[in-house]
Structure 1
Amino acid sequence: MKWMKRTIDNIPIFPKLVITFLIIMMPLFTLSLVFNELGKQEVKSQISNSITMNIHYYFMSLEKELERIIRTQQEFINDENLMQLSNSLSIMSDYQRTKAINDLKSRLTALKDSSIYIKDISVYVDSLNGTISTSNAEDTPSTKEEAEEIFKATYTSGIPITFWQDRLYLNLTYPNNVMNQGKSPQFIQNIELSMEALTNALSAFPQDGGAILFNDNWFIANNKYLEPLTAIQNKLAEPMQQSDTFTKQLEVGKAKYMVIYEKSMFLQASLLFYFPENVIVGQLKTYGTWFWLLVISSFVIVILFSYGIYLLIYRPLQTLIRRFRSVEGGNFNAVLTSIRGDEFGFIFNRFERTVVSLRTLIDELYVQKIRLQQSELKQLQMQITPHFLYNSFFILHRLIKNDDNQMAELVSKNLGDYFHYITRNGLEEVPFEHEVNHVRSYVEIQNIRFSNRIVVDFEPLPEVFRGVMIPRLILQPLVENAYEHGLGDIVMEGKLQIRFAMDADRLYFSVEDNGGGITEERMDEMVRKLNSEDEGETTGLINIQRRLKLKYGERGGLEMMHGALGGLLVRIYIPYDEENNDVSNINR
């Protein structure tokens, strides 16, 4: 390890700058690459799920629509006009027959207009020996033979959708079994489905891809990506037999495809939707290209920036280092002359002024700072005591006035313990255990004050805390703040939790209430005051913060946050050194 350190120390500044910047940036590049890949996978998953839901929604909508059409078609069995034309034609007048035909045609037209998937509806009535249709097109089946052929095709091409002469029909024959008995049915109704509407629906998916609606006898495709269709169907032959719905990734040739399959048991048909995976990740790959361009550009910028810093700071630093070494050797008289007008010139001039003043100021400033801290610590401690006494004497006054002598005796007992604690010696620091006992006395007094309005959960003091030395009267103001500001307006079911915690190098004392808490604006204001170094108010939580900072520096302090109980959580933290703590226990 020593030879490695010497090797690093011998590297010139410019390579060090480059290496340092690269080391700093590598984690960022790595995280960016990981996030890019994770984002790519997440986007693929989200898009795939979205497409799957769209396909399912379309298929369910088509199934529900055809089910509605079939249900409406079956209601024609009870149609009065159709029954009259089928059974009572011989006794109907010309007017009645014409009216029945027109009414029936109107109802058929209404059914046709109710769905874009219906191209035409025709009813062959045996008694009429003719067809009533919503269309006058020449290709409409108009003879008994044609109607019967569509009915027979139902047994060969499946139900409920019948395939006949490259067309799709919904067939209704009444009665259904008479043709098997060699008789003629009363009527045969055929609803021709619109191939164009079905094809347009397959083409209307928000995702660009190939789609096919099919069964063993017929299929409808949107005429997109037809080239890989056969290969995809061959590879999915076994999965389609085993499952009614799935989403898979397939590789056809050199291209990868996302395939979504769903089967309808009601329609006896399946929907297959497939699209190239590049449709999803194509744009993401573009982002990846830009990412690597950014990485390369960053490396170039790092090298140029490092070289610029090297030129700007190397020579002035060499001059300043020589002067530092001179001062380090005890030479306060040598002068570092400079005619520079930049920041280094300012540093050189200020450095010389500092060297001149250093010898006379070092002792004076050091001693003055120590005395100032000691004086301020004592002053801040004295500010805490009266605030608690005012509240305690007020409680005692109220109890005596109400002739509650038993409670007054308990308050005076705890108040006596309080006086005994603060007046028995002039130590600035006490063991954590003594300070916690003092807090318990305070809580006992407040329990009498607030009666049954507040429940206190006071956690037992952990053993590791007991001997740790802390400033006096540093814990009680936190509890007092919770009573006065957090729980002062609580009428019932108030809660106060006092907790202890620790981590590797800190000890925590926290106080949490279920009061109304404070707004975000007020929280920001309090945090700003706690972190401010301006002189001003030195009572309450700001008092605690200043005392902790004077005692421990940045290793100690006070924190405020919103608590889990709904109120305010305030806690202090102090540094914890197990080895030093053991020594303090021995001294105590």
Structure 2
Amino acid sequence: MQGIKRSIDNIPIFPKLVVTFLIITLPLFTLSLVLNDLGKQEVKNQISNSIRMNIHYYFTLLEKELDRIIRTQQEFVNDEDLLQLSNSLSILSDYQRTKAINDVKLRLTTLKDSSAYIKDISVFVNSLNGTVSTSSREETPDDGEEAREIYEATYTGGIPITIWQDRLFLNLTYPSNLKQTKKDAQFIQNIELSVEALTNALKAFPHEGGAVLFSENWTVGNGKYPETSADIRDKLVEPIGQSAAFVKQVKVGNETYIVIYEKSVFLGASLLFYFPENVLLGQLKTYGLWFWLLVASSVIIVVLFSYGIYLLIHRPLQNLIKRFRSVEAGNFSTMLPSSRRDEFGYIFNRFERTVVNLKTLIDELYVQRIRLQQSELKQLQMQITPHFLYNSFYILHRLIKREENEKAELVSKNLGDYFHYITRNGLEEVPVEHEVSHVRSYVEIQNVRFSNRIIVEFETLPEAFHGVMIPRLILQPLVENAYEHGLGEIVTEGRLRIGFEEGTDKLYFSVEDNGEGIADEQLAEMNARLNAEDDGETTGLINIHRRLRLKFGDRGGLEMMRGELGGMKVRIYIPNDIGKGE
């Protein structure tokens, strides 16, 4: 949680303002979108129900009209003239016969004219071996065969509407059970339905959409969206088998269609009405487009408004940040007081007053402290200067007394180099390579003194150390400490290793011996003393550690540990990114 808060704090002000305003307005946008979707769904349902009711109304009218035609057709079973022609033709005079035929034809014509869905009506009378029809075409010998075929088609082409040679008929045969009695029909009446009239009726349905009137054997459509009709029916096979009426959405390709289905048990047929959803929701989608335009405009307004506020806050903040950076760089010069009278003006003026006070405190306290540290540093360096003189003259005296002139010459030369390095200038800092050369002079002198007791391994100074500036006389006391304390009791086979190591962010100078060392408790105590503040006189390792801390702060210092040779290992560390001398 703390990490998330820190990440948020690192984000600039402008994105924060934009996100804040967007978060505030997001619930309003969400609520508007939900209300828009609910309204769109409600309108969609109402329009769908309205269309379904209209389709049901038109389909019911068609069903009632065909029902009326079928009932009128069935009344012909009791028609007196038709019965005379069928049963008493032999006793009728020519006049009676002609009159009966004309009366039948007149009633057929009246029935035909009563409905636009009737294209033609014909009655085949078996006793006449002829057909009475409302059409003006001449009678042919094939009419009787055609009537019988239509009759046969009723058993395979559907009831009450029969399909024969792509034509739709309403068939009436008397008697009706010819298949059982195996007798010839007295008459066969066929009413041919007008496919064109049915098509026009489907085209007259309200709303622009495709309509299909179909059964298992025939189909009549209004010709709209014909390429999708078969696909829609294939996708609705299961719902059609389970329900007599429904409203569904069907996706065909990339287009979504709203489908209204209703089935007529009386007609043995179904009506399918379908239209693209865009036709229904076109205007609603326009409203949706305007909604998203409103959202986009609101976002732009939020961004512009946030940017305006950002400018009001950002400019004075930038001035304040520049002043902070100037102070961080050490520039404490006073700026002119701000002429602003708002909150930022108050902050500017109080900040300048704080800077003035801070500069005063630095002059009074910090500068004094630095001067004290520099004075103490020089004093600590002077404590080291005479330390080696005592033993050096003693060694030289012993060599001269024994008349070991070559060794005395070596000692005197290195002793001269040693003290020349100490006294030649008053520099507080020197390059590492100069300090290492000074240590080599010291080791050469000590090799004469302990030639039979101690073997020294002096590693070559790596290139990375060259030019790095360190406090003067900071390395030699480590070697001196190893001789006096680590190897002081060693009689033979003493080993001393002086090494260098380059770390990721530090440079190390180490001195290690194979002496007996000290106990763990003493080692922990000495490490603790290194970091303890002591205002008294300091010498030895604590002296070195304090000088490094004065120079480098927490990034420099001294540490003690167990070495690989079995004795004590002491090393100092300094930052690896400090500047090199010119």
Give the TM-score range, shorter chain.
0.3 to 0.5
Larger Rg: 2
